[in-house]
Chains A and B, each alone.
Chain A
Amino acid sequence: MSELVLDLEFIVGHYNYWMFVILMMTGLYVTVSRGNLVKKIVGLNIFQTSVFMLYISMGKIIGGTAPILIDDPDAVYSNPLPHVLILTAIVVGIATTALGLALVVRIRETYGTIEEDELLVLEHEMEFAEAVQGGGSR
C-alpha cells in the first residue's frame, strides 16, 4: 500500500515532465503521420513547445521566487538560465515556423496542393516525364 502511495507521489510530483512527454510524443506523431503540410508544421510546433516546458520545469526550484533581486537575503530564486535559453529557442522556433509556412505557400502556388500524397503523385509524374524525355532523345 505504501509503495502505491509513493508511486502516486512520484507521478504527481513529476506532473510537468509527464506533460512534456505527452506533448512531445503528440507533436512528433502529428509531424510524422499527417499528410497536410500545414498540420505537419503545427505538429512540429507542439514538439518544440514541449521542450520549452522541459527546460522551464528544470529551472524551477520549490519555494523559489522569480529571479528578480529583492532585499531579502534569505530569498530563494528559481534558476533564470533555462528561461533565457528558452527565449532563444522560441526565436528559433518562430523562424522555423515562418520559413516552413513560407515554403508551404510557395508549394501551394506551384503545385496547387499541400497534401503530401498528391504531391508525391505529381512528383512521380514529373520524374516519369523526365525519364521519357531523356529516353526519347537517345
Chain B
Amino acid sequence: MLAMIEANLPALQVVLPLIAAPLCAMLGTGRRAWAFATLVSFVAFAIAISLFIATMGGTIISYEMGGWAPPIGIEYRVDTLNAFVLVIVSGMAALVLPYARRIVDYEIPAERQVLFYTAFLLCLTGLLGVTITGDAFNVFVFLEISSLSTYALIASGAWRNKRALTASYNYLIMGTIGATFFVIGIGMLYMITGTLNMADLGEKIAAHGDSRTLRTGFVFILIGIGLKLAMFPLHLWLPNAYTFAPSAVTAFVAATATKVAVYVLLRFMFTIFGFDYAFQAATLENVVLPLAIVAMFAASLVAIFQDDLKRMLAYSSIAQIGYILLGLAFLTHTGLTASIVHLFNHAVTKGALFMVAGCFIYATGSSSITSLRGIGRDMPWTTAAFVISGFSLIGLPLTVGFISKWYLVQAAIELGWWPVALLIMGSSLLAIVYIWRVVEQAYLQPAPEGAVRREAPLSMLVPTWILVGLSVWFGVSATMTVGAASRAATSLISSSQIMWQ
C-alpha cells in the first residue's frame, strides 16, 4: 500500500486537490470546507516535501500518466527545480489556509465560503499541475485552471469593495490574451517538431536548428508568459487584482502565481529552447534586461506614492519580479541561482507582508496607510512582522532579501556589469522609502482618538510569524535554499541541449 502511494506521488500531488475540490463544494458549511481544504493542503505539502527529498540528489522522477510512455503519453517530470517550486506553492497554501479562516469569515458571506474554498483548491491544483507536468500543452490547461479559479477568487473580494469585479474582469481579459498567445507559441513549436513533451521538444528543436517559425514561437511564448507573470509593461492587471482580492487570496496568489509563471518561463527557455540559443540570448539581453531594470525603478517609484497598503505591496511585487527576470537575463549559473532563490525568498517575504495587510484589514476595516496611524502600539506583533518582512523586501542583512540581492549583485559583477550591480543597490533605496512610510505612520504618529484596534487573532498571527521566522532563518543560514537553487540551476542548464552553436 505504502509502496503504491510512493510510486504514484507525482500524480497524487495534482489529483488530490483536484478531487478534493468538488468534494469540498458538497460539504455544506464554510467551517467544514475550511477544515477539509486545510487538511488537503497539509497532505499536498507533505507530498511536495517527499518529492523534494527524493529529487535532492539530482534524480529525475518521470511518471507516466495512465501508463502511456512519453513522448506520446503525458509525462510528469520532477527534478530539483520543480520540486523546489512545488514546495513553495503547497507550503504557501498550507500556511495561508489556516490563516484564512478568520479573515474569510470577515470578508466573505457565510453561504459563499464553501465555494470560496473550492475555488482555492482548484487554484492550488492548477498551480501544482503547471509546475509538475512535463508536457507543454498540459501547462496551458493547468495554467487556465489556476487562472480561471483566480479570477473567481479575486471577484469574491466584491463583498468588501465592488471594484474587485472590474479588477477581476480586466485580469480575465489580459490573462486570456496571455494564455492564447502561449498556445499559439506552443502551436508553432508543435508545427516544427510534432511533439509536445518538453524533453523531446528540446531535443528536436536543437536538431532542427534556428528558423523563423521557432523565433515566432519563442516570442509568442515570452509575451504570453510575460502577461501571466506581470513582466513590466504587461503588468497592468496586477495592482488592482491584488488590491481588491480578499486578503487570503492576495497572500496566496502574490506568493505563488507569478512564481509559477516564472518557473514556466525558465522551463521553456532552458529545457525547450536551450541555454545557448542565440536569438533567446539576444532577446534577454536587449529586451528583458532593460525592462527588468525599468520595472525595479518605475514600480518602486509608483509604490512610494500609493495611499493603499495592498496596492503599494502590489507595485513592489512588480519591482521584485524585475529582480527575478534580471537574474534570468544574465544567463549565467549565478544569475539563475539568484533568480530561483528569489522565487522562494520573495514568496516568503511577500506572503508575510500581505498576511500582515490582512491582519490590519481585520482590525481596522481598511487597508489605507493613513488608517494605520499609531497602530504599532495597538497591534505590536503584527506591526513587528511588517517591519521585519519590510527589511527583507529592502534587502537588509540577516533577512532572505539580502541573500537574493547578494547573489544578483555577484552575478552582475561576474559579468563585469558594474552599472547593473549599482542599479540593483540603488533600487533597494526606493524600497526603504515606501516601507518607511508605513513604519512612520505605525510608530511615530499618534493614534486617532477613540480608535479601538485589537491585536489580530492567534490563528492569523501564527502563520504570519512562521513566514517571518522563515525569512530570518533562511536569511541567516541560507545554505539550504541557495544549495537547492544552485542544484536547480545546474539541472536546468544540463537539461538544455548544448548543440546550438
Contacts and interface: CB of A to CB of B under 8 A. Distances in A.
5 smallest CB-CB distances across A and B, nearest first, come from: A92-B144, A110-B162, A103-B169, A134-B370, A107-B165
A138 B370 contact: yes
B227 interface: no
Residue picked from B155, B166, B177, B196, most chain A C-beta under 10 Å: B166
Given A47-B177, A92-B179, 10 more contacts: A48-B180, A79-B194, A99-B151, A100-B173, A100-B176, A103-B168, A106-B165, A107-B165, A130-B368, A134-B370
B462 interface: no
A78 interface: no
A104 B148 contact: no
Contact of A123 (B137, B163, B371, B448): B163
B191 A58 contact: yes
A104 B162 contact: no
B77 to A, nearest CB: 19
Contacts of A28: 177
Contacts of B36: none
14 contacts: A37-B169, A51-B180, A51-B183, A51-B187, A88-B137, A92-B140, A92-B148, A92-B179, A100-B176, A103-B168, A103-B169, A123-B163, A131-B307, A134-B371
B165 A103 contact: yes
B176 A48 contact: yes
A15 interface: no
A119 interface: yes
Nearest to B371: A134
Interface of A: 24, 28, 31, 37, 40, 44, 47-48, 51, 54-55, 58, 79, 81-82, 85, 88-89, 92, 95-96, 99-100, 103-104, 106-107, 110-111, 119, 123, 126, 130-131, 134-135, 137-138
A122 to B, nearest CB: 9
B396 interface: no
B148 A99 contact: yes
A37 B173 CA distance: 10
Contacts, number: 83
Q: Which DSSP category, helix, strand, loop or mixed, fits chain A's interface? A: helix
A40 B177 CA distance: 11
Nearest to A54: B187
Contacts of A103: 151, 155, 165, 168-169, 172
Residue picked from B163, B180, B191, most chain A C-beta under 10 Å: B180
B173 A85 contact: no
B261 interface: no
B180 A137 contact: no
Contacts of A100: 169, 172-173, 176
B141 interface: yes
B443 interface: no
A135 B373 CA distance: 12
Interface in B156-182: 158, 162-163, 165-166, 168-169, 172-173, 176-177, 179-180
A58 B151 contact: no
Contacts of B141: 88, 92
Contacts of B148: 92, 95-96, 99
A28 B158 CA distance: 28
Given A82-B190, A99-B151, A103-B168, A126 B176 contact: no
A82 B155 CA distance: 33
Residue picked from A40, A81, A103, most chain B C-beta under 10 Å: A103
Contacts of A95: 144, 148
A106 B144 contact: no
Contacts of B162: 110-111
A54 B188 CA distance: 9
A134 to B, nearest CB: 5
Nearest to B169: A103
Contacts of A58: 187, 190-191
B184 interface: yes
B184 A107 contact: no
A88 B196 CA distance: 15
Contacts of A82: 190
B292 interface: no
Contacts of A99: 148, 151-152, 172
Interface string B444-476: 000010000000000000000000000000000
Contacts of B155: 103, 106
Contacts of A126: 163
A28 B352 CA distance: 38
Interface string B105-145: 00000000000000000000000000000000100110010
Interface in B1-59: none
B191 to A, nearest CB: 5
B184 A54 contact: yes
A88 B145 CA distance: 12
A137 B448 CA distance: 8
A31 B177 contact: yes
A82 B186 CA distance: 11
Contact of A55 (B165, B173, B187, B371): B187
B285 to A, nearest CB: 28
